Amino acid sequence: MAIDDLKNIISTEIKRIEPVFYDRSMNLLGMLIFIKLLIEYRRRIILNKKIKKEKMRKKLLLFCFVLGTQIAFGQGLMNPTIPPSGILYQVATKADTIGFSNQGDWDFLAVVTDNNATIEVLPVSSSSSAGNYPNATHVKYEDGNEFFLGFSNSEYSFHGEISVLTSSYSSSLVLHPYPFSVGDIHSDFQFDVPFTVPGGPPFLERDDQAYSEALSTGDLTMPNGTIYTNATLVHTTRTWTDGQVGSSPCITTLDAYHWWVADYAIPVVQTSTMISSGQCPPNTVKVTKFVTGSVMGTSSLDVSGILIYPNPSTNSIHLKNGDRFVGAPYKLLDQLGKTVASGSVIKDSQKIDVSDLPGGVYTLILQDHTNQAVKVVIE
């Protein structure tokens, strides 16, 4: 029964029994009905207020939940700030994948790694092949390969590589947009990308499909005890279909999980499985990488246009874009001034082996007419 119906009934009853009260004739039945209706009327009013109050409370809770969700998810991945000269990451590696939950927090303190390496993200101009990648902003040097990337305020993109194959994408493959928040899903593809393989057949083409999903955020504890707050876990898959036009393709699938932290140009943790099938021999490669130690700006001292990296170094020092130094002698001095390595720059991309040298600070001197020098650290 609605409140308005009760009001009408009460009004009718009052009109009906008013003469009885005025005549001072007590109509007991009418009085009882009147009192009962008044009690019900009052109860409905109180109940109606409670319902309205509860609805308002639920609306307020819903608003707070939505607002909190937007704030939490709004802290998505953004374009990282990369020093103009590039950046060097020291990483610990494990030749296997690791177990984890899709929901944070994550604790990898008990993970034992197998080896150490470095990953460098440098301006694209550091590569002698930069002209083939006009839309890339940076090149990532990893595992002896060069991967050409694009970082902008709107997206993180891939433009090709120099590895076991060489490819250059005429249009970028967007790996994920910026910002990229929990719950976001992105996919992109590039078809019929020409590529070459040393000694391989002509007319090779690649189809490259990428999928990314931001799964969750949380605190991340690294094997060395470093703790990152608000790390974002992103599930990424890449599928490459490679082959000669008209022939059966080789299919390679990369299934990777990346933990991203603000202002890092690479994931601080990445664990992945790569599977080859089709015309390629069946093969499975598993690897996990953790960023370790301090993040360092890569020394790219501009010695009249030459790039010297990485710094610190563990196995080798690279000299790139040193056309004017081709033929010039170089020497590496220890802290006592003793020459521990020497030679001549024989090409525009030179590697100096320092794997046998003890850790410490060394001085690299390029002996042209200016005798330019730069401090390098060997670990």
Domain boundaries, the chain: 3-73, 87-297, 307-378
Q: What CA–CA distance (Å, rounded) separates 302 from 294? A: 23
Among the residue ranges 187-201, 234-248, 345-359, the one predicted with the least confidence is 345-359
Q: Is the pLDDT of residue 16 over 80?
A: no
Average pLDDT (349-354) is: 82
Which residues sit opposite 204 in a β-bridge?
Answer: 195, 244
More confident residue, 90 or 25: 90
Please check the confidence at residue 91 and state whether its pLDDT lies above 60: yes
106-107/204-221 β-pairing: parallel
Distance CA 55, CA 67 (A): 18
List the structure tokens of 208: 């490259």
Q: Are 333 and 340 a contacting pair, CB within 8 Å?
A: yes
364 burial type by CB count under 10 A (0-12 exposed, 13-18 middle, 19+ buried) = buried
CA–CA dist 180, 214 (Å, integer): 7
Q: What is the pLDDT of residue 324?
A: 66
Fold of 307-378: Immunoglobulin-like (2.60.40)
Task: Determine the pLDDT at residue 95.
Answer: 97
Q: What is the model's pTM?
A: 0.64
Q: Residue 68: is its pLDDT beyond 60?
A: no
Q: Are strands 155-162 and 145-151 parallel, antiparallel or unpaired?
A: antiparallel
Report angle CA 151, 152, 154 to the nearest 5 degrees.
125
pLDDT of res. 354: 87
Mean pLDDT within 333-350 = 78
Of the pLDDT bands very low, low, confident and very high (cuts 50, 70, 90), residue 22 is very low
Question: Residue 41's pLDDT is what?
Answer: 65
DSSP secondary structure, 225-291, as one string: S-EEEEEEEEEEEEEEEEEETTSPPEEEEEEEEEEE-TT-SS-SEEEEEEEEEETSPPEEEEEEEEE
Among 31-35, 76-80, 144-148, 252-256, the range scoring the smallest mean pLDDT is: 31-35
Provide the pLDDT for residue 23.
46
d(CA 170, CA 176): 18
With 60 as the cut, is the pLDDT of residue 63 above it? no
- pLDDT band (50, 70, 90) for residue 11: low
Confidence class for position 64, pLDDT limits 50, 70, 90: very low
**pLDDT at residue 369 in the model:** 52
Contact 104, 231 (CB under 8 A): yes
pLDDT band at 61 (very low <50, low <70, confident <90, very high): low
pLDDT, one tens digit per residue, over 285-327 is 999 999 986 554 544 444 445 677 777 777 888 877 556 677 7
pLDDT at 122 over 50: yes
Q: What is the pLDDT of residues 229-255, one digit of tens each?
A: 899 999 999 999 999 988 899 999 999
Has residue 29 got a pLDDT over 90?
A: no
Q: Residue 56's pLDDT is what?
A: 64
Q: pLDDT tens, 124-162?
A: 988 889 999 999 999 999 988 999 999 999 999 999 999
Cβ atoms of 284 and 275 closer than 8 Å: yes
Task: Output the pLDDT for position 105.
Answer: 95
Q: What angle do CA 136, 240, 161 make, to 5 degrees?
A: 30
The span from the CA of 48 to the CA of 191, in Å, is: 63
What was the pLDDT predicted at 187? 97
Q: What is the mean pLDDT of the chain?
A: 81
Mean pLDDT over 347-355 rounds to: 80
Q: Distance between CA 200 and CA 243 in Å, rounded?
A: 10
Identity of the amino acid at 374: V
pLDDT for the residue numbered 220: 95
